Amino acid sequence: MPGEFELIARYFTRPARQAVMGVGDDCALLQTAPGMQLAVSTDMLVAGRHFFSDVDPYLLGHKSLAVNLSDLAACGARPLAFSLALALPNAEDAWLEPFSRGLLALADAHNCELIGGDTTRGPLTICITVFGEVPADTAARPVPTRALLRSGAQAGDDVYVSGSVGDAALALLALQGRITLPADMMQAARTRLEQPTPRVALGLALRGIASACADVSDGLLGDLGHILARSHCGARVELDKVLPLLAARQAYAGGAAQFDNAYGARIALQCVLAGGDDYELVFTAPAAQRSALAALAGSLQLPLTRIATIEAAPGLRLVDAQGYAMAHDFASFDHFPAAGGLL
Distance CA 89, CA 286 (A): 50
Kind of pairing between the strands at 158-162 and 281-285: antiparallel
Q: Which helix (H) or strand (E) holds 174?
A: helix 167-175
Candidates 38-46, 164-172, 188-196, 300-308; binding stretch for a copy of itself (CB under 8 A) = 38-46
Residue with smaller CB distance to a copy of itself, 324 or 336: 336
Residue with smaller CB distance to a copy of itself, 9 or 287: 9
Chain centroid offset of residue 319 CA: 26
CA distances for 285 relative to 37, 153, 207, angstroms: 23, 7, 11
From residue 276 to residue 315, the character string flagging contacts with a copy of itself as x (rule: CB under 8 A) and all else as - is ----------------------------------------
Distance CA 2, CA 11 (A): 11
What minimum distance in Å lies between the beta carbon of 143 and a copy of itself? 5
Residue with smaller CB distance to a copy of itself, 146 or 192: 146
Other residues' Cβ atoms within 10 Å of the Cβ of residue 200 = 23
Which of 74, 200, 204, 206: binder of a copy of itself (CB under 8 A)? 74
DSSP code at position 53: T
CB of 6 closer than 8 Å to CB of 96? no
Site for a copy of itself in 220-239 (CB under 8 A): 230
Candidates 24-32, 101-109, 287-295, 308-316; binding stretch for a copy of itself (CB under 8 A) = 24-32
Site for a copy of itself in 42-71 (CB under 8 A): 42-44, 46, 48-50, 71
Site for a copy of itself in 106-165 (CB under 8 A): 115-123, 125, 127, 129, 131-132, 134, 136, 143-145, 147, 149-151
**φ, ψ for residue 127, nearest 5 deg:** -125, 120
